[in-house]
Amino acid sequence: MTVQQYDLISMGGGYAGLAAASRAAQLGLKAAVLERGSDALYACNSRVAGGVMHISYNDPTTAPGALAQAINEITAGYAETALVDAIASNASRAVHWLRDEGASFEQATTAGWRNWVLAPVRPPATHLEWKGLGSDRGLRALESKLHERGGALYRNTQVVDLIVENGCCVGVRAKQGEQELEFRGRAVVLADGGFQANECLAGQHLTPSPQSLKQRNVRTGVGDGLRMAQAVGASLSTLEAFYGHVLSRDAMQNDRLWPYPQLDELAAAGLLVNQRGQRIADEGMGGVYITNAIARQADPLGTSVVFDEAIWQGPGRAAGIPPNATLLANGGTLFKADSIAELAVKLKIDAAALESTVRDYNTALADGKLGGLQPPRSATRRKPLPVRTAPFYGAPACAGLTYTMGGVRINAHGQVLRPDNTAIPGLYAAGATTGGLEGGPAVGYAGGLMKALTFGLLAAEHVAANR
């Protein structure tokens, strides 16, 4: 068996793994990335991402205190304090480091949370378009720097097991085709992403019907790092939340309808109902929360977004890739009717039930009593609008799953923790492999790219500081 020696070994070639390896090499360590993909531009969520670097919809160069507050607010206090402080304190230098590594940024809009968007910025296309754009170029820049510093990126290399000796992680076992390899080192960084494409794990933790979710990703995240960490005694966060968006149900078969347009703004302004005509969640919590609520339904493909002409012409046109008019232009189903009863028939929903739901909602909104609805409706994140201006619309929906928010628990240095909160020596994790920063009952979103980049850096720096 071939044995390779390195100081730091990253499992996964996305932003977390490449940032860890490139930073380690910059600090004088011998570093390698082991990537399962075989193509020069191997598929991973990092490569096809929109490239917006933000912390809970805030500019990452904002003062750390304000960033920490934003994370705590959006997660309703769920996020672990050590992780909040770590990302808030290091986000600014992380994006500046990435720029110094060769990545380019643009200010995409006047919205502050889009001040740092990897360039060239992805055009407003509904389908998945990424080659030569910001996130792809950023990964190429990191790989180039890794090679310049004497590091290596091994493609077509699947990690199959961690090597633990005397309680310390000292390397991994891997395969390249039929060839078995061993990579030995002082530190291993698990950075292979979430478990979103693992139907078994998704069925255990996210939804009773995993086949009814639209994989809004490149299907490379299958939870190998999570499994390996757990096998050597790692502690896991809660695993029930994911980042994603509400999509047209037609996205299940029509690739022109994912990753965009999102139906989030329509649902957040109007109503999200099941086939019994009942609301299923607090729409005011926003698209990521609503998407998780859809996934948790017994029939995730039995939900519809209901709204009126005012919402269609308002929030329906507000997004960067607005559903009005990209939904219809790309083959999405949208029912239109002069009354709620007529709309219910088209959606195959009980007309009396849907009329009652819409009437109760409009009354509660007018009387300022949205909290009395079941489920209650909030207005903190998204403004509710009445559904009373004909024509009325119904869009059959589905849950688009991008990446999972739960995973391996880590400390502020990226070290993997045991249940007693002690670190497993030599074992680190970064990015969507980890948990404890995002998710929770409020399904709070901190920002996947920034989480990957920042904790990749912190892991490398801790390894270098303790050599």
Per-position DSSP letters for 130-167, written without gaps between them: -TTSHHHHHHHHHHHHHHHTT-EEESS-EEEEEEEETT
Mind listing the pLDDT tens digit of every residue in the chain (467 residues)? 788 999 999 999 999 999 999 999 999 999 999 999 999 999 999 999 999 999 999 999 999 999 999 999 999 999 999 999 999 999 999 999 999 999 999 997 777 789 999 999 999 889 999 999 999 999 999 999 999 999 999 999 999 999 999 999 999 999 999 999 999 999 999 999 999 999 999 999 999 999 999 999 999 999 999 999 999 999 999 999 999 999 999 999 999 999 999 999 999 999 999 999 999 999 999 999 999 999 999 999 999 999 999 999 999 999 889 999 999 999 999 999 999 999 999 999 999 999 999 999 999 999 999 999 999 999 988 999 999 999 999 999 999 999 999 999 999 999 999 999 999 999 999 999 999 999 999 999 999 999 999 999 999 999 999 98
**Considering the entire predicted model, what is its pTM?**
0.97
pLDDT of residue 214: 98
Are 415 and 389 members of one domain? Answer: no
User: How many separate domains does the chain show?
Assistant: 2
Distance of CA 273 to the CA centre of its chain: 24
Are 417 and 366 members of one domain? Answer: no
Residue with tokens 């012409």: 313
Q: Which domain holds residue 303?
A: 245-401
Among the candidates 348, 383, 401, a domain finishes at: 401
Q: How far apart are CA 126 and CA 230, in angstroms?
A: 38
Neighbours of 365 (CB within 10 A): 18
Residue with tokens 């990452």: 60
CATH number at residue 123: 3.50.50.60
Are 344 and 432 members of one domain? Answer: no
Are 57 and 135 members of one domain? Answer: yes
Among the candidates 368, 383, 401, a domain finishes at: 401
CATH number at residue 250: 3.90.700.10
Are 296 and 357 members of one domain? Answer: yes
Are 223 and 81 members of one domain? Answer: yes
Are 450 and 392 members of one domain? Answer: no
Are 136 and 261 members of one domain? Answer: no
32 bridge partner residues: 9, 152
pLDDT of residue 448: 97
Are 261 and 344 members of one domain? Answer: yes
Are 370 and 267 members of one domain? Answer: yes
pLDDT of residue 320: 87
Strand boundaries in 257-298, DSSP class E: 271-273
pLDDT of residue 2: 83
Are 176 and 288 members of one domain? Answer: no
Q: How far is CA 448 from CA 111, 234, 430, 435, 464, in A?
A: 18, 22, 10, 11, 25
Among the candidates 371, 401, 431, a domain finishes at: 401
pLDDT of residue 467: 80
pLDDT of residue 112: 79
| pLDDT tens by residue, 281-293 | 999 999 999 999 9
Are 187 and 263 members of one domain? Answer: no
pLDDT of residue 198: 98
